[in-house]
Amino acid sequence: MRPKLFFFITLTILLCSTVSAQGYVDRDRFFSHERFSFDLKYTEEMPSDGRTQQDISSFTSFFIDGIYEFSSGDFEEAEKDFLKAREIWPEYFATDFLLALTYENKGDYERAARYYKSYLNKLKKFHKGEYPISGSLIRYFSSHNVEEYAPAEELVRERLKGYGIDLDKVLPVITFPVFISPLLLAVVLGVLYVVAKYRVWPYYKRQKRLKNPPEGFWVCPNCYTDNPVLSKVCQKCRKPRE
């Protein structure tokens, strides 16, 4: 089995939510970290070496530590671990949900709303089949356990309304896959180079010429042509000398 496929299969087995088909109707149960759990027997069967196994181990460690710290009331550390877990597997929407709960407990309702919106967007994509690998595997292993989008959206909308936040006006948290980051940086640097070379530097040179024309000449501010000081109009564009 290819490492990437093995990675997602193992994560999917580990990350099945304990919510039942009726569980999300209970608001208290829905907005609880306790509805997410691991079947630790799978971790005992995982190989202990290799990059894929290291990723699985790291994700599992951050996610479980985050839940433990959340349950202990250490929301600062829970936030750090959930964010690290999210970096490893951005598509797994439960991490966004737990981050939203974490920020709620920290009193940062605006940020909590953004993670709730991100959670809902990913949940919708999951149910629409837009995750070609991890989504299909999640559905296979937890077809009766993952909450439906419509009731989840309704509960989140109602909760945010209590904080005076309109879900429709909330922007989700944008996540870039790690492998895209160097490419994105290269694109940004390339754009900055082009702008500097063809816009900023030529503008600087023109302004310098306007302020320091050659001896015996004046520079037209319209077309930047050098003209003899005795000329009253630009020899090129015919603009009068100012």
| pLDDT digit string, tens, across residues 36-87 | 765 554 444 444 455 656 766 787 789 889 999 999 999 999 999 999 999 8
129 torsion bin: left (phi>0), alpha (psi -120 to 50), beta (else)? left
| Percent of the chain whose predicted confidence (pLDDT) is above 90 | 32
Q: Domain 3-175 adopts which CATH fold?
A: 1.25.40
Query: Which pLDDT score, from 0 to 100, does residue 158 have?
Result: 95
Task: Categorize the per-residue pLDDT at 20 as very low, low, confident or very high, splitting at 50, 70 and 90.
Answer: very low
Query: Which pLDDT score, from 0 to 100, does residue 123 have?
Result: 92
The continuous run of DSSP H or E covering 232 comes out as none
In the chain, domain spans: 3-175, 181-228
Which position has the token pair 């709303």? Answer: 113
**Which one-letter amino acid corresponds to residue 13?**
I
Query: Which pLDDT score, from 0 to 100, does residue 139 have?
Result: 62
Give the C-alpha distances (Å, rounded to integers) separating 37 from 48, 80, 92, 149, 160: 22, 19, 14, 20, 25
Contact indicator for 55, 8 with CB cutoff of 8 Å:
no
DSSP state of 46: S
Query: Which pLDDT score, from 0 to 100, does residue 167 have?
Result: 96
- Global confidence as pTM: 0.63
